[in-house]
Amino acid sequence: MTKLTVGIVDYGVGNHNSVHHTLNYLGLRCRVSDDHMILKTCDLLLLPGVGAFRPAMQALEGKGLDRFLAEQVARQKPILGICLGMQLLGKSSSENGRTVGLGLIPGDVVPLGIGCWHIGWNTATLLKADPLFELAHNWDFYFNHSYAYQAMDEFVVCTTSFGDKRFASVVRAGKVAGIQFHPEKSQRAGHALLRSVVEGLCDA
């Protein structure tokens, strides 16, 4: 297989270093850019994200990246969102008031509870056969969030339980996928999964 190039969508929020280093470590090439022309040449677009939904969405819109990503999906470009990047794939979020998202996978982002943070290592449970994500089943990954994706069942690949709650930890619609946890910070299970997902989405 020729070396795949991952385009890390740089919309000026959060830190890309960890995911960039990890992808390089896995033998994947990376471009970090907000330039549509550069991102178009990449095999997969990765939407990272740390922080709040609204400023992230505003930053994407400010750079015309919301429309660009929708166009790329229509052209069958694989897209992977991580953490806030996953949540941005949804139709909307209620974090600090309602904000419209990219709407690439049906679902809304809602709070886990008042004053409720899900921080640390928790288990992913695979709900349906998906070769890209099957090695996530029953492994622990690192989470750090207080809002979660409420997707329609047909798009939920993995769930995770937290207290009496269960939320979507992996969602997928064709070539677009989102991961709520941080595979780049989840040691060997995270690295193995990231490789499987990037290569699998490009092959799908």
Partner 1 sequence: MLKKRFVGVITVRNGWVVQSFGYRRYLPIGHPAVVAENLDRWGVDEILVLAIDRSAKGLGPDVELLNALGTLSLSTPVTYGGGIRTVEQASMVVQAGAERVCVDTALHGDPGALREISLHIGSQALVASLPLGMESGEMQWYNHVTKTQRAANGALARIFEDGLISEALVIDWQHEGTRNGFELDLLRRFPVTGVPLIAFGGLSETAQIDEALRMPQLVAVGVGNFLNYAEHSVQRYKERLSTGVLRRPEYQGLTI
CA distance 157 to 127: 6
154 is catalytic: no
Phi first, then psi: what are they for 43, rounded to 5°? -80, -30
The vertex-6 CA angle with 5 and 12, nearest 5°, equals 140
Phi first, then psi: what are they for 3, rounded to 5°? -65, 125
Exactly one of 69, 189, 198, 201 binds partner 1 (CB under 8 A); that residue is 189
Told to check if 142 binds partner 1 by CB under 8 A, we report yes
Q: In the beta sheet, which residues pair with residue 158?
A: 126, 170
CB 107 to partner 1: min, Å: 20
C-beta closer to partner 1: residue 106 or 113: 113
CB 118 to partner 1: min, Å: 7
Catalytic residue among 95, 145, 182, 199: 182
Catalytic residue among 30, 118, 184, 199: 184
- List all residues 6 or more positions away from 37 whose beta carbon is below 8 Å from its beta carbon: none
Instruction: Report the phi/psi class of residue 138: left, alpha or beta, with left for phi > 0 and alpha for psi in -120 to 50.
Output: left
Told to check if 190 binds partner 1 by CB under 8 A, we report yes
Stretch that binds partner 1, among 37-45, 63-71, 100-108, 117-125 (CB under 8 A): 117-125
Q: Are strands 99-100 and 79-82 parallel, antiparallel or unpaired?
A: unpaired
- List all residues 6 or more positions away from 17 whose beta carbon is below 8 Å from its beta carbon: none
CA distance 194 to 191: 5
Catalytic residue among 83, 145, 158, 199: 83
- Map the footprint of partner 1 across residues 53-112, applying CB under 8 A: none
16 is catalytic: no
Exactly one of 38, 70, 100, 119 binds partner 1 (CB under 8 A); that residue is 119
83 is catalytic: yes
Sites of contact with partner 1 (CB under 8 A) = 14-15, 17-18, 21-22, 24-25, 50-52, 114-115, 117-123, 135, 139-140, 142-146, 161-163, 182, 184-192
| Active-site residue set | 83, 182, 184
